[in-house]
Amino acid sequence: GGPAGQATAPPVAKRAGAWAGAPPPAATMSGTPSPKVEKKLSKLRQQEMKQLEKLAAQERKANQKVEKERQAQVKKMDKKLKSKSDSVSGGLVSESTRPPRHEVSFMFERLMDALEFTDAKKREMNGLSIDSKWIFIQQHRTNVKTADGYADLKLTDNPRYFVIKLQSDPSTETFEELSLTLRTADATWYSSFQSLKGLNLLLSVLLLEADKSITLSDAKLEADRKKLTKIIKCLKVFVANEAGLREILHTKDSVNKITLCLASTRGKAKVQVFEILAALCQLGDDAFALVLQSMAYYKHIKQDTMMFSHLVDALRFDKLLDSRVMAMTLINTMVSTPDELDQRLEIRNQFYRLELLKVMEEVRAQPSPPTELLNMFDLFDEDAREDAREDADRFDVVGTRERDVAAIAKFIEQRALHDGV
């Protein structure tokens, strides 16, 4: 202590000096380990690397052993399956006695799913040769069902099969198979097919094949026309089936795409497109509205000056009589389908503006006009007269109550002029 009344100062300098004079720790002020510590750490790292290398070598050895055992099992199974090939396939399996490789692979994968194989078992089985896979399929062919309820190995019963075929092998045979399947398919099949975007794929192939047919040589054109006809045949079955029609109506741009291919289809294929559109017109207001919408879409894409001009051109210029008859059938169907008189008059007047009456008179003036066309023309005229009477009665036009044909024809002409024909 100091004198009385004075505070004693703490020995700060001494304590600070003690810290300042203390020896440095093992690491320098910059954080670098001392040589002794560095040597020890280096030795530890070397020991750790050796241990990791030893573990990696053990793992490689174990994997090699597993792979060797797997290959031995596959080889054994392969040999076993081949030994049974005579009883299964009547002889050596070859490319001529089994389906194409991609189909066998598809069936094999689905069969393993149906048999609930583990991932490890699937990897093992995938090591089999393509012939052994086919034999294995044959041995397990009966009464195998998948989770979605379809007989998995009867390929044409499975919507997924056709989706894969449309992507990998859009051949004439594929569309022939699809057409046959669609005829007997139920609503669940159609729904599953569309959930896999099957209808979208079918429509895309339709447009692709239709566009291709324009540039093909005559030699290849016939084969491609046959394929195109088969594609459109599938769509006809879609429309004829209630479940299929529902999918058509709920698939965006489906009717637009069907109508658009009229620009590039010829012959029987074009006739079938006309038939599809005529059928759609009569399958309810929604379907009819989509057909009208598709005609406007066609006009927009092809930059036509007026809607329906391609139908009148088909009637005037197509060489195939069936195509001209179906074009006129579609015209009659579109004109007569609406329940509302004003809509019927509006559609008919658009055909008047396209000089349909002139085309009809030119055909009638031919030395031997086709009877089928004349019948279609008569139906058009009859519907026009009936609508004219209804329109005249509605507006109480003098002279039409006697049902005089000349007066009705005059009224049609005046009405058309009034509407801007």
Q: For the segment 316-339, what is each residue's pLDDT rounded down to a tens digit?
A: 999 999 999 999 999 999 999 999
pLDDT digits (tens, 9 = 90+) for 191-228: 889 888 999 999 999 988 887 766 655 556 677 778 88
- Token readout for 74 is 């596959």
Report the distance separating Cα 111 and Cα 126, nearest Å: 12
Residue type, 350: Q
Is 398 a residue whose pLDDT tops 80? no
pLDDT at res. 219: 55
Nearest to 299 by CA among 260, 335, 326: 260
Q: With a threshold of 0.85, does the pTM exceed it? A: no
pLDDT at res. 84: 47
How distant, in Å, are the alpha carbons of 189, 230, 292 from that of 198? 11, 16, 25
Cβ contacts of 336 within 8 Å, gap of 6 or more: 344, 383
Q: Give the single-character DSSP code of 154.
A: S
Is 32 a residue whose pLDDT tops 70? no
pLDDT at res. 288: 94
How many percent of the chain have pLDDT more than 70?
71
Confidence of residue 136 (pLDDT cuts 50, 70, 90): confident
Nearest to 166 by CA among 117, 199, 119, 215: 199
Tell me phi and psi for residue 129, to 5 degrees.
-70, 165
Confidence of residue 80 (pLDDT cuts 50, 70, 90): low
The answer to whether 325 touches 370, Cβ cutoff 8 Å, is yes
pLDDT digits (tens, 9 = 90+) for 94-135: 455 567 787 778 778 877 776 777 888 888 888 888 888 877
pLDDT digits (tens, 9 = 90+) for 363-389: 999 999 999 999 999 999 999 999 999
